[in-house]
Amino acid sequence: MKYNFPGHLNGLNDKEVLTSQKQYGYNSINTTHKNTWVKMLLDILKESLPLSTIAVLWFEGYKWVKRRS
C-alpha cells in the first residue's frame, strides 16, 4: 500500500538508519525493570492513608483484646 505523505515526512533511508543506530543505539525500550510484590507493598505503605488505617485498626484491635482479657 502506498501512502501519499509530504516530502519532508519520508523518514530515513537504509544508510541513514544504520548511521543513526551507530550514533544513538537501537530504538528499544528496556523492560528489565520489574515490580516485585515487596516493592509494591512498600510503595503502598509509604502513603499516609494506608498507614493511618493500619494504625487505627491495630490500636482498636489492641483495645478490643485488652477488654476481653
The string of pLDDT tens digits covering residues 20-51 is 999 999 888 777 777 788 888 888 878 888 78
Q: How many CA atoms lie within 13 A of 37 on its CB side?
A: 0
Query: pTM for the full model?
Result: 0.35
Contact 12, 20 (CB under 8 A): yes
What pLDDT does 53 receive?
Answer: 86
Domain range annotation of the chain: 7-68
